[in-house]
Amino acid sequence: MTELPAATRLGAIRLRVGDVDEMTSFYERAIGLRRLDRSNGLASLGTPDGGPLVELLADPSAPPRPARTTGLFHLALLVPTRADLARALRRVVAAGWRLSGASDHLVSEALYLADPEGNGIELYRDRPREDWPRAGDELRMDTLALDLESLLAEDDSQADEGMSAGTTLGHVHLQVADLAAAEAFWVDALGLDVTVRGYPGALFTSAGGYHHHVGLNTWAGQGAPAPPPGARGLVHFELVLPDDESLGAAAGRVGGDTERADGIVARDASENAVLLRR
């Protein structure tokens, strides 16, 4: 079976947005990312110690993504510690934003919300890998209520200096039309491993034994259509390979259709795009 190198990771996610000023302000105030650059219609946000995590491509004429279509379910920013997650919760509340959920997934603890244009966001911290429960060969994940009072007790600092150093794009969760077709692309061709198969209507995949780098679900409906070209939402997210050999092999297996200076773009059967790069 084809597998991606264990060192494979995610880079940045790029979203097409209608109001880049409002969206940039949201990701700075409510999420705590720093503006790293803004030029040629692209605003890049991240942390001072790393590269971009979220890129906002300005397109005022872009129509909203229709409901019940494929595309981004949520982007997930992974913070280093539980105290960092507590600070993230305080930051969201201070910005006047509401959570849409808060869950204990056994392998992680997560907060959920949406940005002003409806893109789903997860802010989460991982439990130590040695504590992740297993059921046979698969990881065991669940969706339990998160104890927010316990979380807030992890940190009582008043200062907010933004997202912590070491924050990364931990995973991306996509809506697809069909799980079998999605597995054929992300697992059989690209080389991610299935980590959780038993979650209703979903499949979780990763490289290197992580709980998931790419989640897939059909919760928008079996056979859901792709959004129209140029709609707001996901442009692509980056899958970063450790060397030229593994990049070339992965691109060859998925038949990347657009070669660019920064990598190769490939699309699954639901038109979700991934940029393969080093």
Buried b (16+ CB within 10 A) or exposed e, 198-209: eeeebbbbbbee
Q: Whole-prediction pTM value?
A: 0.97
- Would you list the domain boundaries of the chain? 9-269
Say if CB 88 and CB 32 are below 8 A apart: yes
Residue 96, φ and ψ in degrees, nearest 5: 80, 20
What's the pLDDT at 1? 65
Give the architecture (CATH level 2) of 9-269. Roll (3.10)
Alpha carbons 259 and 239: distance in angstroms, whole number: 14
> How buried is residue 157: exposed, middle or buried, by Cβ count under 10 Å (0-12/13-18/19+)?
exposed
Question: What pLDDT shows up at residue 3?
Answer: 87
Which helix (DSSP H) or strand (DSSP E) does residue 141 occupy? Answer: none
Each of the 278 residues of the chain gets a pLDDT tens digit; together they read 678 999 999 999 999 999 999 999 999 999 999 999 999 999 999 998 889 999 999 999 999 999 999 999 999 999 999 999 999 999 999 999 999 999 999 999 999 999 999 999 999 999 999 999 998 888 999 999 999 999 999 987 777 889 999 999 999 999 999 999 999 999 999 999 999 998 999 999 999 999 999 999 999 999 999 999 999 999 999 999 999 999 999 999 998 777 777 899 999 999 999 999 99
Q: How many CB atoms lie within 10 A of CB 95?
A: 16
If you write DSSP's letter for every residue of 23-92 in order, what string do you get?
A: HHHHHHHTS-PEEEEEETTEEEEE-TTS-EEEEEEE-TTPPPPPTT-SEEEEEEEEPSSHHHHHHHHHHH
- Give the gyration radius of the chain's Cα atoms: 18
> Do residues 163 and 77 touch, judged by C-beta distance below 8 A?
yes
Residue 262: per-residue pLDDT:
85
- 60's tokens: 């005022």
HSE-up (13 A, CA, CB side) for residue 267 = 13
